[in-house]
Chains A and B, each alone.
Chain A
């Protein structure tokens, strides 16, 4: 029922929204796909990645090169990009078998930087100048223009979100969480840690790769300058802010960060806040540097999330539920606190 309502809303949305807003929604949906993948890796499996922009780049370049070099249609190139990226994710997952937290962070950081450097120095990948994405079609339908792209991108995001949700309640999802909570306990219980860790990396990379292909579709142009370390950081920020291990949290966090990332160049156009920011900038900071406010906000959001509510938006939601429901904790959250047994299950009035 809920799904049906969501479907109706999503289908009618482009008919209601003004054109330029559809582009914003598409962009946020691309971020949601990455966020779902990050949630599998960071939230469920407890591994860290500072190189997901690298996976996104691999996905975007695979999609485009499949179309230009092999003449593959977009609907074929996109899943292929997902597969190729999953392969790279598997490869990066191999060192993760032996490495923990800090080492893994450094390896993935280096991976992300190496990918863009190799792309930037190779003529085959268009170097620093980037590549133009050819016109894509879905059967007879042309995929140029925001509205057709909306249905492809948001459709993909919806399907992948359902996949992620189903995955999390299966054996695989439980294995991921067991590894997160204690690798040794998981291994003792018969979870094949090596298999599931690399699987988690591969799946998470595949999500980022598909998002990369869709980003290429909507922007029409890709260059290594897009897939920076800062973007990887933003991806991590999305799931931390949303709430690690929670799919709705990851989606919401991705939407917020995606919006922030897109609007970064136009802070002065925000209602009320914009002019205030601009006058503050020209007096104390610099007007040219105004887009950097986005990074300040992102950074502070991450720090505050960890300091105030480490479970992110998901945790806030649980707290809100507890207040509204009269102390009745929401036991559904995978990492939520145990419901207070002494609290009376008071009805909401």
Chain B
């Protein structure tokens, strides 16, 4: 029973970890939580869906195009909208991401309605793999595998490539990075592109699990925020760990305490963490600057 619950938590946690990672890498760059993240991912999932159903392409073509689309959307959002905010403050940037979220949600709803669609996926949520007493759906296995490969890839990218290091430099001190020859504007745009891609992968893994509609990413986005707060909004590794941890806590809560209020756990965690350890479980220090 426990092992089964933990396995379920791990596959749910993979999605949260992806969303949290996507949020954190842009948060570190702009100090603003990108609320449009979820909707950008949802629209990317719809792009894949339309390619597969209306144009009858294979899954991998649709997947690739959706990823490219997500990248362009993320880059474009930063370059066309966020960058042009004059005298940016936390509040105005936050409001812009909310406005973009609302506009994307409306556009998607206008185009695709409120209908719930079955999202075709090579592996199914109903076929199961048995490992001793534990059964995991093949989709769950794919989710865990794809997300961990992607996250390892992202961390390697940040650590070992020139662009990744430039992104980290921009996150830490944009002015110093620019002085040292980093084209910070382009780097910020690329960061949003990568963040959007990570979010889109999360959406493409969520859509076959439930059904595809315009509210696809609402729940994962809140969970991603909770995970990021749990692990630390400024620590990508912490946010990923927070994602897995949240998935596990949530499933344990659902199994042993109450299924009905399972979703409220995320909010409880946010409040508790912010009350007792505002910088997150895995962050090193927290300073309030004047």
Q: Which residues in A have some Cβ–Cβ distance to B below 8 Å? A: 42, 46, 48, 50, 95, 98-103, 105-107, 109-111, 113-114, 117-118, 121, 184, 229-230, 233, 236-237, 240, 244, 281, 285-286, 288-303, 306-307, 310
Contact = CB atoms under 8 A, between A and B. Distances in A.
A292 B87 CA distance: 31
A102 B98 CA distance: 12
A99 B85 CA distance: 24
A48 B110 CA distance: 29
Nearest to B228: A106
Interface stretch (B64-72, B145-153, B163-171, B268-276): B268-276
Contacts of B287: none
A100 B32 CA distance: 11
A299 B101 contact: yes
Interface residues of B, number: 52
B94 interface: yes
A6 B222 CA distance: 44
B119 interface: no
Q: Is the interface of A mostly helix, strand, loop or mixed?
A: helix
B92 A99 contact: no
A21 B226 CA distance: 43
Contacts of B109: 289, 291-292, 295
B60 interface: no
A290 B33 contact: no
A278 to B, nearest CB: 12
Contacts of A233: 98, 101-102
Contacts of A95: 271, 274-275
B218 interface: yes
A301 to B, nearest CB: 8
Given A48-B91, A101-B90, A102-B27, A292 B270 contact: no
B261 A121 contact: yes
B19 interface: no
B95 A121 contact: no
B103 interface: yes
A303 B96 contact: yes
B197 interface: no
Interface string B90-114: 1110111011111111111111111
A98 B274 contact: yes
B285 interface: no
Contact of A298 (B102, B226, B266): B102
A59 to B, nearest CB: 20
A107 B270 contact: yes
Contacts of B95: 236, 240, 302, 306
B84 interface: yes
A106 B113 CA distance: 28
